[in-house]
Amino acid sequence: MIAKKTKLKGCYVLEPRVFEDKRGYFLESYNRNVFNEALDLKVEFVQDNESFSSKGVLRGLHYQVGEHAQSKLVRVIKGKVLDVAVDIRKNSPTFEQHVSVELTEDNKKQLFIPRGFAHGFVVLSHTAVFSYKCDNFYNKESEHGIIFSDPTLNIDWKLPKNQLIISEKDIKLPKFEDIRL
């Protein structure tokens, strides 16, 4: 596994070793020892999640606060998404900054998003299967979010706004300046 730092401290793009031949491919998507050594961390994932979405579905930007904050390791099994992580750590030199990474079934890249980040993605292909590991269990009362179109963040979601499909819950999320940290 190759771990590449992003401009946001603690956020990494991971590229697994892929073994391909005429039968297809094999990759090790996660190995705790390799992962923790590559990132010089000690992360224990406790929950795996998977979603299926159509083109234009935008999920996010979500985060959990306090003792329920989560680190995530995200990847795409099928399709293509633009994955976005936003640094919401008040004392961070990259506070309010974001990183966007295309995750696809072909490039097999993963993104590690540490605690203290908001996260979201938009589906760029016809459909996508999105998978992620969390190092803490989901807690509804601790979940918060930021509206996808926040002018402070100015995220380019790569699709016109009229092509985005956003849940009722996500369309009502507050602006960055009004979030609870």
Contacts of 41 by beta carbon, 8 Å cutoff, 6+ apart? 35
Eight-state DSSP code of residue 79:
S
Q: Which of 12, 98, 119, 132 is catalytic?
A: 132
Compute the distance between CA of residue 50 and CA of residue 77 in angstroms, rounded to an integer.
Answer: 9
138 noted as active-site residue: no
Please identify which of the residues 25, 30, 62, 119 carries the catalytic annotation: 62
| Catalytic-residue membership of 132 | yes
| C-alpha triplet 156, 121, 63: angle, nearest 5° | 110
Q: How many CB atoms lie within 10 A of CB 13?
A: 18
Query: What are the residue numbers of the active site?
Result: 62, 132
